């Protein structure tokens, strides 16, 4: 992979990681258009590793919130009186909500990096999950704020986050939709989505870096991977700020038209033989 390709893929990751349009789906499409093999272990590892850049952006952007959550959690463990703090409950929600994807992601890693790495899967997921996002907005009550997040909410959101292991679904699309289903307001659902992304994507990227270091070195290359990760960090930081402002006044259905159009366009290219699925 050359540096120009790395920069383009880093931009694609940073722009789409937190928007409900599927970063993995966009990366898979972009990698295929660049002539990269989706079956190549180094390409699969690269796709997971550069997500860490976007997660670093989340950590930097929400650094004060994260410190507050950690301190509230520690105080709550030590002092029963501190357990009424909403930040203590939110910290536990993030921990509990991260467990399902840790288990399912590990058990299904071969499926995710193998058969699901198909553009047919991406196209189908882009279209199908758009219907879920539309329905989530339709039934959303948005009656509860971030301070009212419960462990039940965390379990529901965490379970639906697992669906995003399918390229094209979108992790943020799945988790924000889940938040709306349980009655959270759109900003609360989006912030919970951001917090849940930290353990999920750090674990995925760290695992790929540790287990596929040789593949990266012999394939895509660590320089290209590092450049793409840095670019994704910078672009993702800007997209986080934009998304939080956007969802405060707009439904996530604004992204449905784009998702469906992209899915249909992809099906057309695959059917015409312009692109191969893997």
Phi-psi region of 166 (alpha: psi -120 to 50; beta: other; left: phi over 0): beta
CA distance 16 to 238: 11
Residue 276 within a domain: no
pLDDT of 204 higher than 80: no
> What is the residue whose two structure tokens read 């850049």?
53
Q: For 136, how many CA atoms within 13 A lie in the half-sphere containing its CB?
A: 28
Q: Which tokens is 150 given?
A: 């419960």
Nearest to 192 by CA among 75, 69, 49, 51: 69
**Per-residue pLDDT tens over the stretch 60-93:** 999 999 999 999 999 999 888 888 888 999 999 9
pLDDT of 232 higher than 90: yes
Q: What is the mean pLDDT of the chain?
A: 88
35 burial (CB, 10 Å; 0-12 / 13-18 / 19+) is exposed
Residue 277 within a domain: no
Instruction: Give Cα 186 distance to the centre of its chain.
Output: 17
Residue 183 has phi, psi (to 5 degrees) of: 95, 5
Residue 278 within a domain: no
Tally the domains of the chain: 1
pLDDT of 101 higher than 80: yes
Q: Bigger pLDDT: 228 or 278?
A: 228
Residue 121 within a domain: yes
CA distance 31 to 44: 10
Where are the strands (E) in 129-253, listed by range?
A: none
Other beta carbons less than 10 A from residue 152's beta carbon: 11
Residue 225 within a domain: yes
Q: Do 267 and 121 touch, CB atoms closer than 8 A?
A: no
pLDDT of 39 higher than 80: no
> Tell me, what's the pLDDT at 71?
94
Where are the strands (E) in 106-202, listed by range?
A: none
Instruction: Give Cα 224 distance to the centre of its chain.
Output: 21
CA distance 11 to 16: 8
pLDDT confidence band for 197 (50 / 70 / 90): confident
Q: Do 275 and 30 touch, CB atoms closer than 8 A?
A: no
- Its domain, for residue 33, covers 3-271
Residue 34 within a domain: yes
Q: What is the mean pLDDT of residues 181-209?
A: 85
pLDDT confidence band for 119 (50 / 70 / 90): confident
Q: Do 73 and 91 touch, CB atoms closer than 8 A?
A: yes
> Tell me, what's the pLDDT at 216?
80
Q: Rounded to the nearest 5 degrees, what angle is found at the Cα of 234, between the Cα atoms of 232 and 236? A: 60
**Per-residue pLDDT tens over the stretch 140-192:** 998 999 889 999 999 999 999 999 888 889 888 999 999 999 999 998 999 89
Residue 67 within a domain: yes
């Amino acid at each position: 992979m050359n540096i120009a390709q790395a920069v383009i893929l880093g931009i694609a990751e940073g722009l789409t990681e937190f928007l409900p349009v599927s970063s993995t789906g966009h990366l898979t499409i972009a990698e295929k258009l660049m002539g990269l093999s989706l079956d190549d272990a180094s390409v699969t590892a690269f796709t997971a590793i550069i997500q860490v850049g976007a997660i670093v952006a989340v950590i930097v952007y929400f650094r004060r919130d994260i410190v507050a959550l950690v301190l509230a959690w520690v105080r709550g463990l030590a002092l029963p009186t501190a357990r009424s703090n909403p930040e203590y409950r939110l910290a536990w929600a993030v921990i509990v909500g991260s467990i399902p994807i840790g288990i399912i992601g590990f058990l299904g890693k071969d499926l995710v990096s193998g058969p699901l790495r198909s553009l047919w899967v991406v196209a189908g997921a882009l279209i199908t999950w758009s219907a879920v996002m539309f329905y989530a907005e339709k039934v959303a009550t948005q009656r509860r704020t971030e301070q009212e997040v419960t462990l039940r909410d965390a379990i529901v959101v965490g379970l639906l986050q697992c669906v995003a292991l399918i390229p094209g679904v979108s992790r943020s699309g799945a988790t924000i939709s889940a938040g709306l289903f349980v009655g959270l307001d759109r900003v609360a659902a989006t912030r919970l989505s951001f917090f849940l992304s930290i353990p999920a994507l750090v674990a995925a990227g760290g695992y790929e870096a540790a287990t596929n270091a040789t593949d990266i070195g012999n394939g895509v290359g660590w320089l290209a991977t590092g450049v793409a990760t840095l670019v994704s960090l910078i672009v993702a930081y800007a997209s986080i700020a934009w998304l939080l402002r956007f969802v405060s006044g707009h439904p996530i259905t604004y992204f449905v038209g784009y998702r469906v159009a992209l899915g249909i366009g992809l099906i057309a290219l695959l059917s015409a033989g312009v692109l191969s699925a893997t």
